[in-house]
Chains A and B, each alone.
Chain A
């Protein structure tokens, strides 16, 4: 018997990330932008999406035990993207109502106030395979009306760019330290799917720089982890508790 201790915000966040890959089948689960998405991907593979492919963060495809099952250097990884058999969870410095994402720079691109990473692979990712996002500190700094440099393409930008941009474009989910969001609303505006237990809808709205679409029948709580999932998170996937350091307080 293990003692039942309260599920933490970080653990709900891992569940929120893991569920992004639910039902994905034999696709590459790429987890970027933090440890929580990486823990989520491993949890998904262990608990309910056993066919997922994982990388070691370098050039190898590995099983849950770290055993090598394939080779995926950068040039093949980029080809993997355009083949579509991949669902990546990226970080986001800014994210807007229609899912436009920025990791490039803050301010005027010509001479930014804060240079960040650059667009990296966000343009090719968003046009070719499923792209979800992870935001460890849900705030109006991240959730903005308009992003400064569209790196990841949102629904409105894809539609404006035409059929070759929308053909494979899909943003299944945004997971944060407070909530789960998606774009399954008329016009693909960001919708609040669930709040993590202990968080209110008002709190999420206040931390978001634009009005969220709310489901008609109220906002449910993010689901509870099963006892087995909780055990996997705590004892197998992240026994050091690194998840707690990454996730911001409410």
Chain B
């Protein structure tokens, strides 16, 4: 079967980031320190794009962008490195009041993605009321069931985004994405909830012949660009291709940001330079 009529969406990380603008609302897939589109985040860190609203089940993506001063507003339920519970750069940025925060619950966040993907203004959710999520988000509204129960719920607003960045194990050049690990996280929803979506992957494949159908998570109608970035989720996990680089993550968590950035994200660098710098660092540890 020929696919020659469908668009080739292959981009470099720089080309993908060149499609983004300062002031945008940006969704970032993965969860905590798991399957984060770090190569795209790194390209973003090397760019002069800033003033972003970031929507994320936060991990080092949030920590790094916050440390680099690129976040104007964060929408999140948490930021964590998983094996290291507290994300140090996120903490430091919060403690110096570096950005505005819309702190919501994990489920509220999920229903916000569903609402956006379904072109609804909100979805009702039994979460938030009774907690200080309502106090710190005075703009959150409630909705009363129109049926006999007349229960009151939070009307979680749609988390509509200008662009989504996600990382998967495999993709084709048309934008179909496949995850091979145990958890899809919310990556398909991020793509569908955003006006544009950039999918980085470990490897571009010509076909998904022989694949488990359920692994084909992301469909090309929701994807703008595909970026092949081997080890692109580093240092977060991207199973089964690789586990989290715990040693490197620990170093990240204990190194001042300026020092880390100077070595691993120097001006004029790129993803290839980053991956070599990581290898050199590992050699030094032996």
The chain A residues found within 8 Å of chain B, CB to CB, are: 58-60, 71, 73-75, 78, 81-82, 104-105, 109-124, 126-128, 149-153, 157-158, 160-165, 167-169
Contact = CB atoms under 8 A, between A and B. Distances in A.
Given A78-B110, A121-B77, A165 B129 contact: yes
A73 B132 contact: no
Contacts, number: 133
A165 B127 CA distance: 8
Given A71-B182, A109-B136, A115-B95, A122 B130 contact: no
Interface residues of B, number: 42
A163 B110 CA distance: 23
B192 to A, nearest CB: 13
Contact of A120 (B77, B129, B135, B151): B77
B57 to A, nearest CB: 8
B108 interface: yes
Chain B interface SS verdict (over half): loop
Contact of A122 (B58, B76, B105, B184): B105
Given A153-B131, A163-B151, 16 more contacts: A73-B184, A74-B31, A109-B136, A111-B96, A114-B95, A115-B94, A123-B127, A124-B126, A124-B128, A127-B126, A127-B130, A149-B132, A151-B132, A158-B130, A164-B129, A167-B151
Interface in B56-97: 58, 76-80, 85-86, 90-91, 94-97
Contacts of A120: 77-78, 105-106
B131 to A, nearest CB: 4
A94 to B, nearest CB: 12
B24 interface: no
A82 B128 CA distance: 13
27 contacts: A59-B182, A74-B106, A74-B186, A75-B110, A78-B106, A81-B107, A104-B132, A105-B94, A110-B97, A112-B94, A115-B95, A117-B79, A118-B76, A119-B77, A119-B78, A121-B105, A123-B127, A123-B128, A123-B130, A123-B133, A124-B107, A160-B130, A163-B152, A164-B129, A164-B152, A167-B151, A168-B126
Contacts of B125: 124
B106 A150 contact: no
B94 A60 contact: no
Contacts of B182: 58-60, 71, 73
Contacts of A117: 78-80, 85-86
A158 B134 CA distance: 13
B250 to A, nearest CB: 18
A121 B129 CA distance: 13
Contacts of B14: none
A114 to B, nearest CB: 7
A34 B221 CA distance: 42
B185 interface: yes
Interface string B86-120: 10001100111100000111111010000000000
B206 interface: no
A152 B77 CA distance: 13
B183 interface: yes
Given A111-B95, A115-B91, A118-B78, A127 B129 contact: yes
A27 B105 CA distance: 22
Given A73-B182, A128-B126, A121 B106 contact: yes
Contacts of B135: 109, 150
A129 B254 CA distance: 37
Contacts of A74: 31, 106, 183, 185-186
Kindly name the residue among B125, B127, B130 whose own CB sees the greatest number of chain A CB atoms within 10 A.
Answer: B130
A228 to B, nearest CB: 33
